[in-house]
Structure 1
Amino acid sequence: MTEDFHRIRRLPPYVFAEVNAAKAKARAAAEDIIDLGMGNPDAPTPPHIVAKLIEAVQDTRTHRYSMSKGIPGLRKACAGYYERRFGVKLDPETEVVATLGSKEGLANLAQAISSPGDTILVPNPSYPIHQFGFIIAGASVRSIPYTPDDAMLRALDVAVRHSVPKPTAVIVNFPSNPTALVADIAFYRDLVAFCRKHELFILSDLAYAELYFGDTPPPSVLEVPGAKDVTVEFTSMSKTYNMPGWRMGFAVGNPRLVAALTRVKSYLDYGAFTPIQVAAAAALNGPQDCVAEMRALYRDRRDVLVKGLRGAGWDVPSIEGSMFLWAPIPEKFRHLGSVGFSKLLLEKSKVAVAPGLGFGEHGDGHVRIALVENNARIRQALRGIKTFLAGDNAGPVEAEPVLTHA
């Protein structure tokens, strides 16, 4: 009984583990590590949302089992958000289900709609659950380009014509984690037309819908007429309202897909603690100044970090959405790969970042840098990075093992 179980065997070594171990070792030695690796918002949840949670938890009736699909008030609040923000009308009873964050929703939908032999089309690089939710469910994954343009659409056409059986679904995620790319409505129109023609489901991860820095808010694919025929979209309150630990998100759109997810969830959980759902509804229905403040905070951090990295000699692109920089590894360090570079950066500059290999083999030339520290800490990180880049740190290094991403 020494072999791993079947589904565990399909999961490769966890790429982030090496950097996490190095980070833990440094902290155990009392080193001050600035962690820009995990996308874990550091700002507090807005006070009016916390106050509603406290109020709700005082009512002992809320201490009982909740509703797996979400309490009615919360589903109505989500539908109201979609109508205000995107002009999309949703039936709270049949087209909205609350999830324990978008990650749980994606994983359980994978269980609901896929089985061994099915093929899912997933951008590479992309957030790990986009691929591994389906791998755990037993399906096969085919990589496609991660850019919201003709390259992705051409890859979809090739996949539909040459995959046997025909793919079940395609995943899109814009603003993207980790690449920070943003799609426009024209791309979504083409995507919807293609997927309706070929009966391909669209699974859209819109967790960063409110984290944008340009004049035009990122659209929802559901804004396209007819999109609901083939689309379910996941949103999250983690980033929008600084509620990552509350674990609250939604799946909305196609009634058949929502029903499938709802049914699977009914066997697996009783939903989030009712006071959390009540507070989440208050967040969606209440004043939205906190969202604008959150957006301004991340924009300011982006500007400080991009300017500082460029000043240190690291040519990184700016971003128009998400809370991450997708930074190409400086040329003299590229031979290390993203894991080796991340470990060296941690050792020399005391700054942790996420190796791009963790998001797919096509991400190995990059690292992801999260905007999750205040400007004082970001400037401290920049001083360490500048000293590191100016030093002779790219000499012979033991080759890193080749790891499949996780």
Structure 2
Amino acid sequence: MVAARKWRADRLGQLGSPIFAELAEWKRAAAFAGSDVIDLGIGSPDRPPTPAVRQALSEAALQAGAYRYPGSHGTEAFRVKAAEWMAYRFGVSLDPDAELVTLMGSQDGLAHLAMALCNPGDTALLPDPGYPIYAGSLALAGVEPVLMPLRAENGYLPDLDGICDDVWERAAFIVLNYPNNPLSAVADLDFYERVLHKAKQHQVLIVHDLAYSEMAFDGFEPPSLLAIPGAIDYAVEFHSLSKSFNMAGCRIGFLGGNRDAVGALRELKGHIDYGVFLPVQEAGIAALDEAMSGTLPKAGELYEQRRNRLIGALRQEGWSMALPNATMFAWAALPELAADGGGAWTSRRFAQELLQQAGVAVVPGEAFGREGEGFVRIALVEEEARLLEAAQRIGAFIRSRR
């Protein structure tokens, strides 16, 4: 008998940990069993966009001409507005025609950039832990990753001098992400200047994921590395409206920077899709206009308040952790738990049993790479009352395991 053919590419197994799919199954099982699940797993904002953004989306959706193909690199109006916002927010000047491309969220661009920039067999430098699409995009493009461990003793920054010259010479690009998901770490311009020095020395493109630029705490304002004179010759930067403007479901963001790299991604996307729905681009324009009006608080203010309440409550419950510096996440080392017959307390086991026994969903650190083992990521995506309830449930779970 001829064996049944499997229509599944091997590269799918290289896209990263399947833990997000497993977590979804765990949540479904817990809900089916009657648990009131508090989902602190996926980083999806729990609040809607502002009324002005929703109004712009609604009005644009009623226009008869809104349903034509929008164009793969975005409307001129949105690109011009994105360039205005970059100048307003960071003092960065971008040519909206040559140095900026509209995306279906930053993940869209991150997933395709390696295919646009690299040939199979090339290498790229990636953070570990890191957002899963970084490694997944390399697998799709046949590019070899070189992992840079991010550890607390170095402020969760890569050890640039610890990367040998041979690796720098072979690398097509280096991926950075500050404010960082999942680590909630931040970086300043001094760090970016050191990276830029390496990039110039070895002709490496810097790919900076700045999706959380508006979500820093304690007065810190995340900078754009493109603000450094000459950086645009060696860098591109992803921006997203998903988290900062509560538009995650709209799928809109952009890439700005080096015109060759931006142009390569624009060319690839011209073969893949027809761009972002026109009303969504109009909503994006409204969101950026509001941001530049100075009349609205930044998203970081809400998440800073939630951070303070949740981390304070968890500390009272016996789980001590550092305060996150930014983003909508807390990165926490597993609490001390007693050994038992269930095997070692891995991040996966902790997250699964926490969900089963306490009805609180968090993401195991292993989902973000080898360096993530022993940690979990907690998303601040519920109102304060639910976060405090989650802390109480987590505390009861921890005490029952000690």
Q: TM-score, normalised by structure 1?
A: 0.92
**Change in 2 beyond 3 A, CA 1:148/1:187:** farther
In the other structure, the counterpart of 1:131 is 135
In the other structure, the counterpart of 2:237 is 233
Q: Does 1:346 align with 2:355?
A: yes
Q: CA deviation at 1:201?
A: 0.6
SS of residue in 1 equivalent to 2:190: helix
Are the equivalent residues in 1 in contact too, given 2:365–2:375 (CA < 8 A)?
yes
Q: What is the alpha-carbon distance in structure 1 between the residues aligned to residue 388 and residue 157 of structure 2?
A: 39
How do 1:110-121 and structure 2 match up within 5 A? 110-121=114-125
SS of residue in 1 equivalent to 2:96: coil
Deviations 1:40-76 (A, max 9, x none): 1001111100101111112111111102101001001
SS of residue in 1 equivalent to 2:159: helix
Q: 1:373 aligns with which of 382, 389, 402?
A: 382
Amino acid at match of 1:389: I
Q: CA deviation at 1:379?
A: 1.1
How do 1:289-300 and structure 2 match up within 5 A? 292=297, 294-300=299-305
Number of equivalenced pairs: 390
Q: Does 1:337 align with 2:346?
A: yes
Amino acid at match of 2:142: G
Are the equivalent residues in 2 in contact too, given 1:309–1:315 (CA < 8 A)?
yes
**Change in 2 beyond 3 A, CA 1:40/1:285:** same
Deviations 1:154-202 (A, max 9, x none): 233x1x4247x71111000000000000001100011111101110010
Q: 2:312 aligns with which of 307, 316, 341?
A: 307
Q: 2:333 aligns with which of 328, 333, 342?
A: 328
In the other structure, the counterpart of 2:323 is 318
SS of residue in 2 equivalent to 1:316: coil
In the other structure, the counterpart of 1:358 is 367
In the other structure, the counterpart of 1:195 is 199
Are the equivalent residues in 2 in contact too, given 1:87–1:223 (CA < 8 A)?
yes
Q: CA deviation at 1:9?
A: 4.2
Q: 1:382 aligns with which of 364, 381, 391?
A: 391
Q: Percent identity?
A: 39
Once superposed, which parts of structure 1, at least 4 consecutive aligned residues long, lie more than 4 Å away?
A: 147-151, 287-291
Q: Does 1:33 align with 2:37?
A: yes
Q: CA deviation at 1:20?
A: 2.3
**Change in 2 beyond 3 A, CA 1:296/1:22:** same
Deviations 1:271-316 (A, max 9, x none): 1110110111121123556751532211111001110111111111
Q: What is the alpha-carbon distance in structure 1 between the residues aligned to residue 96 and residue 43 of structure 2?
A: 30
Deviations 1:110-138 (A, max 9, x none): 11012221111001001001111111111
**Change in 2 beyond 3 A, CA 1:51/1:151:** closer
SS of residue in 1 equivalent to 2:337: helix
Q: What is the alpha-carbon distance in structure 1 between the residues aligned to residue 395 and residue 157 of structure 2?
A: 38
Deviations 1:231-289 (A, max 9, x none): 11000000111000000000000000000000001111111110110111121123556
SS of residue in 1 equivalent to 2:171: coil
Q: What is the alpha-carbon distance in structure 1 between the residues aligned to residue 308 and residue 220 of structure 2?
A: 18
Q: What is the alpha-carbon distance in structure 1 between the residues aligned to residue 17 and residue 41 of structure 2?
A: 18
Q: What is the alpha-carbon distance in structure 2 between the residues aligned to residue 293 and residue 184 of structure 1?
A: 19
In the other structure, the counterpart of 1:76 is 80
**Change in 2 beyond 3 A, CA 1:299/1:162:** closer
Q: What is the alpha-carbon distance in structure 2 between the residues aligned to residue 181 and residue 86 of structure 1?
A: 19
How do 1:1-400 and structure 2 match up within 5 A? 1-2=5-6, 4-11=8-15, 14-146=18-150, 151-156=158-163, 158=164, 160-162=165-167, 166-287=170-291, 292=297, 294-332=299-337, 335-391=344-400, 393=401
Are the equivalent residues in 2 in contact too, given 1:70–1:98 (CA < 8 A)?
yes
**Change in 2 beyond 3 A, CA 1:20/1:131:** same
Q: What is the alpha-carbon distance in structure 2 between the residues aligned to residue 275 and residue 80 of structure 1?
A: 19
Q: CA deviation at 1:361?
A: 1.0
Q: TM-score, normalised by structure 2?
A: 0.93
Q: CA deviation at 1:346?
A: 1.0
Are the equivalent residues in 2 in contact too, given 1:201–1:230 (CA < 8 A)?
yes
Are the equivalent residues in 2 in contact too, given 1:241–1:290 (CA < 8 A)?
no
Q: CA deviation at 1:151?
A: 4.8
Amino acid at match of 1:54: S
Deviations 1:328-371 (A, max 9, x none): 00132693211001011112221100000000011011000000
Q: What is the alpha-carbon distance in structure 2 between the residues aligned to residue 221 and residue 204 of structure 1?
A: 8
In the other structure, the counterpart of 1:402 is none
Q: Comparing 327-336 with 277-286, which one deviates more in the overlay?
A: 327-336
Amino acid at match of 1:153: L
Are the equivalent residues in 2 in contact too, given 1:101–1:250 (CA < 8 A)?
yes
Unaligned 5+ runs, structure 2? none
